Structure 1
């Protein structure tokens, strides 16, 4: 296992399942028994971002050539014999691993991931790996219960352990150890790594300055210690108070929206309302800060520091097993511009760093802030009720609390939204994957609608006031739109279309097409490019 699968969360709220270790482990609340923690075992082992990079043609074929050349270059820099031959065999092995991998859509299907296995099941259902030795090495020898997220992939990778030549596995492991260590090795290694992972894969022409990379590494290693300083220096208590009030208003607005749903039965509404009532919100920073006193840091040992920090974090996570669930722990740093919903705990988290422009502006009026950070807050609330979050009940347990008819109606709205986003094309002939991005798109539609309702409620009957030539409704929608301004290089955006559960920002901004209030705000008429007929506007929650 080697290290924890980092619980990186993309803006906004998607666990990053990627790890180049053969398998990853993520220690979290057990989605089948939410009163305890469990280790989640996930597929890994690829040096490129996803199985498609190994199996598709076109530009992927050229990337594979560049990747094979990079493998050979790293092995040559390390003085390994026959680097070209070994690179060819390593790529062939990774291609077989990719063939065993689950797709992005399968990986993001919670129902397909909820596979409770015992330690005995690993040997029985995924033969090939010496699981006993493997788990002993990972400090999991005594762990009896696991959740195996991609069972076919775990079984397929395990089978390769038994069938592929041992020498190839040794070369593969040596390369990946060098690839991970490259940022801390002599400059030639770091430059080679960036030339492939940065430039070839993502189109980034220049590596960031060394001090910035050191800051990133420090954030990764001792992030909450840095976060404590960040909060003390840069987070205004008045901002927290205003955001807390907005969160309360938006949660109340979401509950009202549930009451108003004509298509939902009283039985399902009651369960949904219970889920809203049980929501807890972490705003700004955690109540208690993480203790790093057990981590050894040496001024003259960058590579050792990185290895010790990774092991320290892995051991911290493994230590959670068998203990009561800590509902106060944050999986995000306060200095991260992001937000998340933790469906296993019915909890929302908004780090301090997102409470700044363009998401929150202390100098702006409520209309702009409800459109921006308010829509983010609504988005995170709505994640508890998207196509994945709706599968969890008010206790965080994976449990179907829907009537059959209500679920049918909900899924029909999801199908319509998936089709809408699949019609958007960032490049000619290349579409957004409406099914892969569905959870985020549901959360955007419901979150924006809820934030709009909350803003209207916050006015308490006060008359609308035009500022700088814009009405309150216009300012609300402009606040939403400007939060999604973004730039991306073509290669990075093409990669994101394959692997990211979020649609590109310019299409997230088009969520407004589904809100009736947007049309009179900007006098949008039938026949105009962004107009959607009322029966085509998707209503979710």
Structure 2
């Protein structure tokens, strides 16, 4: 899907990081054997094939040894890198994820440049249509004139509801969103999800808070919408834009918070088709769902019922001209990246510079790569995997995953806070677990998608419609568990509790996360901890609500929940205390799942590393023990610098803590204290009673 909106494969997915792209779209929601021995290719590599980074897989030159590891482990591991590395002009943040993303995008460009020369290549045709800037410039905003005319022709609230349903097909989400997802209590049943939506700013807090930067962002949003109206020849743009932002402010007031929306139980609400008319009157649900192709079912999941009900009332009470302006503005905004330069620059000036602090848009070829990757990712992915993901890398990653799973199983057998009966079910869930590594076993078919070399906006619309129809085609059929929610080129990973799986695309299985020729300690501290992170999501405060089949059900005892919550409450308070920007703290409740996953991932990965040594001592390399190198591997993958606007947006919206604070999770782990021996007066030092020991 190439629109700026994000619809997920499943109702609940926990991604590793929002490191490369902006924070997720509003309210977007993964046989155990004995420990496997060391990865042979890794052990041999230290004396044979050279790691890509440093002498053993870690960038020692990026350290700042003037900082005591107990005062700031992030600065100790990454301080010099932070001082000497500038954020590129086309980035809102920069670090290990971005470095790999640059590599992935560059490799994909080579694939698309070659495909563009093939007259029969669809990915080549799509890339060509984006790169032909002269043709796009000549068309101005002609490609969206028919969309504008259709919105202007709306004559009633029923027509408006129908227009909102049609807009969904092109990635434009109105005050209410609907899409095909999975049923959390019936994991093999695709169903229809309905949720709150419709904010042009990143989060409800951007409408409700009075901090000076937030107020400035609201004003900039009004200016941006005014500019869009001006570019399309619409009169009285400033007044109309202000009215739209005021309307969205009323939407924001009724929206659930992100903390509320991450609760899998509270967001699971079954409605019949008749319930919409009864519970949320004032909105023509038949017209809306019918236009979207979602009116033929009698089983819907409503994520935030009170917000959906209140949104229907807001639409009923709002004047039709205002509602039409709202839809018009969002339609132009969604189309802007695919139109002439004036639209592209206006869109980037607001979304890139104002909201994220990025001074310069990415080169056109990079944006073209992103377009094709999002529209036809698995077609590109086949070529990418064949060229850049050798079988030996996949085999090494598979073996490491088995080590991590085995270590998790050993942990589950001994958890003091988990009742024996619950531990037994937890181990059964782990035994039923599915890891997906590298790329899909089954590739998606894009033969039904029409692509023209001279019609960029038409290609985008057809791609969105194609993807929408793909979702509709799932209804009434068993879910296809072979599907992936990411392409092989993405620098990310995710846990999908509804299918009891973790997914690691090929592109993240590279240094600094994973290098078959690096010291195993660094690999376990890097990709090993990341694998453990995703694996543990299935047992965190939300993932633990899903059983071994992926069904949302309560399989913990009340005593388990009480003991578990007592521990996680401590972690919430720990992260609430962090203040990355003056007056802005990490939201401990919002980031709880990810912080817990970091804690568990490191714990399990260290166990797996120790088991891989088969009772032998780890070698000392460059004066560092194995455990010291393990934690440096963790710190290295999280090195990252942010622009202030981007960090502010993340603190308001991102379920992941900033990279510095993610690295600091080590202060809870006794093996880190054993490895680095911080003094009790060190800034990061926690007494044993203060440390959060969940796993």
Whether these two folds match at TM > 0.5 is: yes
Residues 20 and 46, structure 1, Cα contact 8 Å, conserved in 2: no
Cα distance change of structure 1 residues 15 and 275 upon mapping to structure 2, 3 Å threshold: farther
Residue 107 of structure 1 aligns with which residue?
A: 261
Q: 1:482 aligned to 2:636?
A: yes
Q: Distance in 2 between matches of 1:436 and 1:249?
A: 30
Q: CA deviation at 1:32?
A: 1.7
Q: How does 1:440-455 map to 2 (within 5 A)?
A: 440-455=594-609
Residue 424 of structure 1 aligns with which residue?
A: 578
Q: What CA deviation, in whole Å up to 9, does each residue of 1:368-408 have, x standing for no partner? A: 10000000110011000011001111111111111111110
Residue 381 of structure 1 aligns with which residue?
A: 535
Residue 183 of structure 2 aligns with which residue?
A: 30
Residue 539 of structure 1 aligns with which residue?
A: 693
TM-score normalised per structure 1:
0.97
Q: What CA deviation, in whole Å up to 9, does each residue of 1:385-441 have, x standing for no partner? A: 011001111111111111111110001111011111111110223210011000001
Indicate the SS of the match to 1:535: coil
Residues 435 and 501, structure 2, Cα contact 8 Å, conserved in 1: yes
Q: 1:47 aligned to 2:207?
A: no
Residue of 405, 410, 434 corresponding to 1:280: 434
Higher deviation after alignment, 309-318 or 30-39: 30-39
Residue 21 of structure 1 aligns with which residue?
A: 173
Q: Distance in 1 between matches of 2:451 and 2:402?
A: 42
Q: 1:399 aligned to 2:553?
A: yes
Q: Distance in 1 between matches of 2:339 and 2:645?
A: 27
Q: Distance in 1 between matches of 2:627 and 2:365?
A: 43
Indicate the SS of the match to 1:140: coil
Q: CA deviation at 1:94?
A: 1.1
Q: Distance in 1 between matches of 2:430 and 2:484?
A: 20
Unaligned runs of at least 5 residues, structure 1? none
Q: CA deviation at 1:96?
A: 1.2
Q: 1:456 aligned to 2:461?
A: no
Q: Distance in 1 between matches of 2:324 and 2:181?
A: 31
Q: Distance in 2 between matches of 1:422 and 1:386?
A: 19
Q: CA deviation at 1:348?
A: 1.0
Higher deviation after alignment, 10-19 or 302-311: 10-19
Q: CA deviation at 1:15?
A: 6.7
Q: 1:211 aligned to 2:365?
A: yes
Q: CA deviation at 1:6?
A: 2.4
Indicate the SS of the match to 2:266: helix
Q: 1:473 aligned to 2:627?
A: yes
Q: 1:78 aligned to 2:232?
A: yes
Residue 8 of structure 2 aligns with which residue?
A: 7
Residue of 508, 512, 516 corresponding to 2:662: 508
Indicate the SS of the match to 1:315: helix
Residues 519 and 525, structure 1, Cα contact 8 Å, conserved in 2: no
Q: What CA deviation, in whole Å up to 9, does each residue of 1:422-479 have, x standing for no partner? A: 1111022321001100000111101110000011111111222111221111111100
Q: CA deviation at 1:313?
A: 0.8
Indicate the SS of the match to 1:36: strand
Q: 1:57 aligned to 2:62?
A: no
Q: Distance in 2 between matches of 1:233 and 1:349?
A: 20
Q: Distance in 2 between matches of 1:26 and 1:265?
A: 39
- Structure having greater relative contact order (Cα 8 Å, sep ≥ 6): 2
Q: Distance in 2 between matches of 1:80 and 1:15?
A: 31
Residues 378 and 444, structure 2, Cα contact 8 Å, conserved in 1: yes
Task: Give aligned pairs, total.
Answer: 540
Q: Distance in 2 between matches of 1:46 and 1:91?
A: 9
Q: Distance in 1 between matches of 2:583 and 2:225?
A: 32
Q: 1:122 aligned to 2:276?
A: yes
Q: CA deviation at 1:29?
A: 2.2
Q: Distance in 2 between matches of 1:342 and 1:404?
A: 25
Higher deviation after alignment, 286-295 or 119-128: 119-128
Q: CA deviation at 1:363?
A: 2.0
Q: Distance in 2 between matches of 1:125 and 1:290?
A: 38
Q: How does 1:122-521 map to 2 (within 5 A)?
A: 122-521=276-675
Q: CA deviation at 1:5?
A: 3.9
Indicate the SS of the match to 1:260: coil
Residues 5 and 24, structure 1, Cα contact 8 Å, conserved in 2: no
Residue of 199, 223, 241 corresponding to 1:87: 241
Give me the CA root mean square deviation. 1.6
Residues 5 and 25, structure 1, Cα contact 8 Å, conserved in 2: no
Residues 421 and 434, structure 1, Cα contact 8 Å, conserved in 2: yes
Q: Distance in 2 between matches of 1:239 and 1:364?
A: 12
Residue of 222, 231, 242 corresponding to 1:68: 222
Residues 41 and 148, structure 1, Cα contact 8 Å, conserved in 2: yes
Residues 495 and 535, structure 2, Cα contact 8 Å, conserved in 1: yes
Q: Distance in 1 between matches of 2:493 and 2:555?
A: 26
TM-score normalised per structure 2:
0.76
